[in-house]
Each structure stands twice: as C-alpha cells, then as structure tokens.
Amino acid sequence: MPITILMPALSPTMTEGNLAKWHKKEGDKVKAGDLIAEIETDKAIMEVEAVDEGILGRILVPEKTENVKVNQVIALILEEGEAASSLDDFKVAQEATPKAPNTADIVVLNQVSTQKTSVINTQENRIFASPLAKRIASQKNIALDAIQGSGPHGRIIRQDVENYKPLQKTTNASAELIPHTLMRKTIAKRLVEAKSTIPHFYLTLDCDITDLVALRAQFNALKEDQKISINDFLIRASALALQKVPEVNASWSDEGIIRHPTSDVSVAVSVPNGLITPIIFNAHDRNVSDISVQMKDYVVRAKLSKLKPEEYQGGTFSLSNLGMFGIKDFAAIINPPQSAILAVGAGIEMPVAKNGAIVIRSMMSCTLSVDHRVIDGSMGAQFLATFKNLVENPLSLLS
C-alpha cells in the first residue's frame, strides 16, 4: 500500500499552511533524509524531509498551493516492488471530522511528521478530479481548488484544467492586487484581535542615553570583533526592570492574572513579508554580549524565514525599536497574550536643563503600551521609571 505524506503541523496552533515548493518530482527516488518539500507557515518556511524510502509516485497538492489543511495527504510514495498502477485505486479514507494520527505511526524529523496509515480528511477538503486532470494540473502548477469542474457531480476533468485561465490580479490599469502572504494574514488577524479586545493605554517619558552611548562606544572599541548595539542594552534593561517590577511581567486570563517568573523579551524584527518577534529567553540572566550574539543570529535567520517556532512563540514582554529609522516616538500594539510592549525611538541630541545649566544631551523617547486589565497606571509608571534609571546608569546593565 502506498505511503502517504501528510501536511505537517509545525506548531501547536497551526491548522493550515502553504505548500511553497516541491524538491522532488513524480518518479524520483526518495530515501530517508532527502529534502522533498518546503512548507510556508505564518512565520517561517520549514523544510520537509522524507523518513521512508521509495518512489515519489504521485503529488496530490501542487507547489504554491495555499491554505493546505494540517494532516491532508499531499503526496504518495511507492514502496519497493510496488507498481505505479496501485495508485490508481488508492483512496484517502473519508469521515465527518479529521481523525488524530496515531502517535505510534508517526516519525518526527526536523519538526515534520509523516504517517504510513491513511489520513482522514473532511469532505469539504476533498477535491474530485480525474487522475489525468490531477497530473496535468500538477505539471502546470495549477491548484485544483481554483478550477470549476464540468464532469459528473462537479468532477474536474482534463478539459477543465486545459481551459483554466487564472483571474487577472489587476483591478485596473494603474492598480495592482498583491495577494496576502500567510504571514501578513496572521499579522492582520492578531493586530485586530489585540486592538479590539485589549484596553490599551500609553505612558511616555524621555531617557537620557548620553552615558549609555558613551559606554557602548568604549565597549565596542575594546571588542572589535563583536559590536554591541543600543538595542542589546535596552533588551537587558527591559528584562531587569521586569524583575524589579514583576507586576508588569504578567498576562491576562479569564481565571486570573498569570505572573511570569522569567523575563522572556520578544524583540520586533522586520522581515520582507512583515514582522516577527524572536525571543531572548531569561534575558535578565544573560549579559549584553550574549544577548547581542543571540540577536544577530535571530536577525539573519528571520530574514531567511529559518526561525524555529519555539524561537518566536511565547515571550512575556515585547520591545520595538524604530530609532534606527529616525523615528522620534511611537506607540506599539500589544502582542497578546502579553500585557505590555515598549516602543523606543531614536536618540536625538537636544538642549536640556541639567544642574541649573543648559546642556546638549542625547534623549530617547520611550512609550509603554499597557493592558489596563492587568497593569494600572501607577504600576506602568513605576516600570518606566525603573527602566529609565537602568538606562541612565548603564554600568548597572553590565553587572
């Protein structure tokens, strides 16, 4: 019996993904460890490796197909000695709801699951098409769910595939419709949810980072092989402030407020298709150099869509820094289920009063967005004051 390759669940909350690319074609030999496909989730592109040997007999889901359900059969592998004709009679079992895979039949490799037993799909996920129509659609990289079948009971036949013309993606001569990526859809959904359900309020103050800038320059002069950024110091300052004001290091739940023991700081990183927030776990226990190395690695892999789900899912607090773009100040949207996010702007030299004299100092605007269900104004203000004290006394960040 052919071995089924399933659409894997790459995170606990994943229900669907995009089949970005096939690295094998029908008829190719496959052995354990071979890279066979790439799956695009809302945050990353993950590689699927084979765990069985055989011949890739049939691709059921063409590459570039969007919204493929988890546990849907995406391809079939012929075992040794198995004839290709056995695929003609192969059917995926159908029930009203998907059946959870038996853990005894699953092998996990690089966060990808495959299963040798047949997979149960919902009836709505079943696309009725002739084998020839499926083969032509696969060769032309056409998603079958985009085709209206003209055969009996809506079955897709060869002529339907050959006559298919994709919809125009432009609405007029001057406007272009750019399809949403899975990441952009997820970002939109989460931001609407956050802004609609979390009662935001905002607290802003300015931090004098003149001494911090000087300390960073001294640090980098001594270690030419490792350059520390201002953001690395701010991650450390945020983590220490959370330990000093633990009421802010919390999340809302219907049962009660969840107080987190560790400062796991999510850091906003811009990527080509949107935004991702890799996490510096236990940032309060890590020195600035360690944080810097971790962030550089995160940024490189984030832009390549190579972060693992456990590296960006979770976190107890978020930091968003737009200072490198010259932004003076802004207010960020809370990243649920967290209860606060700190938005920092650029360090700008300006005249300020200090000890009865006007001096030029480098000032940085910081805005804390707070979930009022969890954190009151006075507690948010206490956190910001603690953060400010740490930043304005930067030697405390090196201890």
* Backbone torsions φ then ψ of 298, nearest 5 degrees: -60, -45
For 18-41, give one letter per residue: b (16+ CB within 10 A) or e: bbbbbebebeeebeeebebbbbbb
- Cβ pair 107, 23 in contact under 8 A: no
Query: What is the chain's Cα-based Rg?
Result: 26
Q: 3-state secondary structure string, 220-253?
A: HHHCCCCCCCHHHHHHHHHHHHHHHCHHHCEEEC
**Omega cis (within 30) before 337:** yes
DSSP 278: -
Q: State the catalytic residue, choosing from 23, 153, 284, 372.
A: 372
270: CB partners within 8 A, 6+ apart: none
By C-alpha distance, which of 51, 60, 57 is closest to 29?
Answer: 57
> Is 372 among the residues known to form the active site?
yes
Inter-CA distances, 384 with 11, 186, 204, 241, 387, Å: 34, 30, 8, 8, 5
- Alpha-carbon dihedral angle through residues 63, 68, 71, 73, given to the nearest 10 degrees: -40
Q: For residues 146 and 164, is the Cβ–Cβ distance under 8 A?
A: yes
Could you list the active site residues? Answer: 372
